[in-house]
A and B are shown apart, each in its own frame.
Chain A
Amino acid sequence: MEKHNKNSDKENPLKECRFQERISPWMEGELDESDAKILEEHIKTCQSCSSYLEDMKEAVSLLSADSAPSLSPDFDEKVMNRIRQEEISKKPSLKSLIAGWILSLFLLLIIYLLSSGGGPPDLVLKGPVFWITYTMKDPATLSLTEALMRVGFQTLIHYSPVILLYLTAFLILSRIFWKKKLPVCLEGSWKLEDGGQKDVGDERK
């Protein structure tokens, strides 16, 4: 208590008694026994400190009062719905992309085999190599760029249904795999199915 800085009274004109800066630590139980006794005795005789103590108690009491309004009844649901939206907007994982890719390839292979009556798929064999070898009647007359453009264009035209089919299958299958990875809470109701866990949700005091 003796170490108190007397200049602090000058710094704060509202501070009428030098003991006042010890009131808060005293309220928080931080003063040692002897200092606490000195302060308690002082407060009994000092009107300024007594009044200050009451004001501080009131301020703390008002601050501690539960003045916040309740959150909306569907707050939890809103939070879980927003989580669901965030999860859905996430990009598919690499695993689901690979799974979608493999499955779509497999699917295409089956379609080809079925369409070619169980034989080797013509479409695959008659690909770009076929064109380069047989359809260009006079490749010597074409420049390299023209030749590449021609091959690229013809390949695109030839394979466009396949490419479209492949992309569609890939996207659908990736999506299916990705959705399967969604947490249970996001597939349907967010609410807890196991009532036995509810005791852990008690309001924190």
Chain B
Amino acid sequence: MNSTDNNETDIIKQILSSKKNLFHLLVERYRKPISSLIYRWTGNRGDMEDISQEVFLRCFKYLKSFDLKQNFSSWLHKIALNCVYDHIRKKRKESFFYEDDSKNKSTIDSIASNDKNPEETALQKEEQQLIQKALNQLPDHYRDVLILRFTNQLSYQEIADIMEIPLSTVKIHIHRAKERLTRSLTEMKAGNPAEKPNRGE
């Protein structure tokens, strides 16, 4: 397990002592990876904003219990995943009344802001919608490993720490998840989308 780097350890120690105003340094440092993870999971901008806030609130609240020998990034990512699960669980409970817009809205807003020509932007939107849809069809643990590995660029070891599973299992999950994602994406492109989300595994 990689430990937290010295600079980060200093910040955390100072926050824990009395300089709690330094907490915003952690927010600045991690808001991008954390929001990317959440957005990939939910595909919704509003959810991303709300859950990201919740992640940092929980982080602040439980910082006292953080072991400085641990990797802070992994710890924070774990909190983020827990917040996402809580949110998804809540949404699934409300699903009778609430239509999950993650599969429909997904990445539309995000790419519109890029400074590219309209055709390219439209193509990107379409591709991102497809990948989001394909991702949504994967079982939760496959989605976790793919997002952590490729969206957040984390190492196998970090993923193993976050998900609390052996390194060998992480590797297997990643390969199987990649295979399923590729096939799902290919099917969708061929106009034969497998609409049923598979959560059985």
Where the two chains meet, the residues of A that have a C-beta atom closer than 8 Å to any C-beta of B are 12, 14, 20-21, 24-25, 28, 30, 52, 55-56, 58-60, 62-72, 75-76, 78-80, 82-83, 86, 183-186, 190-193, 197-198, 200-205
Contacts and interface: CB of A to CB of B under 8 A. Distances in A.
Contact of A204 (B30, B56, B181): B30
B171 A30 contact: yes
B182 interface: yes
Interface string B63-107: 000000000010000000000000000000000000000000001
Given A71-B52, A184-B18, A200-B7, A83 B23 contact: yes
Interface in B143-185: 146-147, 150-151, 153, 171, 174-175, 178-179, 181-183, 185
B31 A76 contact: yes
A204 B35 CA distance: 12
Contacts of A67: 39-40, 107, 110-111, 128
Contacts of A201: 24-25, 28-29
Contacts of A68: 35-36, 38-40, 48, 110
A197 B25 contact: yes
A63 B135 contact: yes
Given A69-B110, A83-B23, 8 more contacts: A24-B175, A30-B171, A60-B178, A72-B49, A76-B27, A79-B24, A197-B22, A205-B153
A192 B49 contact: no
7 contacts: A63-B150, A68-B39, A76-B31, A80-B23, A83-B20, A185-B19, A204-B73
Nearest to B57: A82
Nearest to A189: B21
B48 A71 contact: yes
Nearest to A203: B32
A69 B23 contact: no
Given A78-B53, A82-B57, A66 B127 contact: no
A24 B25 contact: no
A186 B21 CA distance: 8
B71 to A, nearest CB: 12
A190 to B, nearest CB: 6
A55 B186 contact: yes
A77 to B, nearest CB: 9
B73 A192 contact: no
Interface in B104-160: 107, 109-111, 113, 124, 127-128, 130-131, 134-135, 146-147, 150-151, 153
Contacts of B28: 76, 201, 203
A83 B181 CA distance: 39
Contacts of B175: 21, 24-25, 28
A80 B35 CA distance: 17
A131 B113 CA distance: 81
Given A24-B175, A25-B175, A200-B11, A75 B31 contact: yes
B183 to A, nearest CB: 5
Interface in B1-54: 7-8, 10-11, 18-25, 27-33, 35-36, 38-40, 45, 48-49, 52-53
Q: Which 10 A-B pairs have the closest CB atoms?
A: A185-B21, A183-B20, A68-B39, A69-B110, A24-B175, A62-B131, A201-B28, A63-B150, A68-B36, A201-B25
A55 B52 contact: no
**Most chain-B CB neighbours within 10 Å: which of A58, A68, A183?**
A68
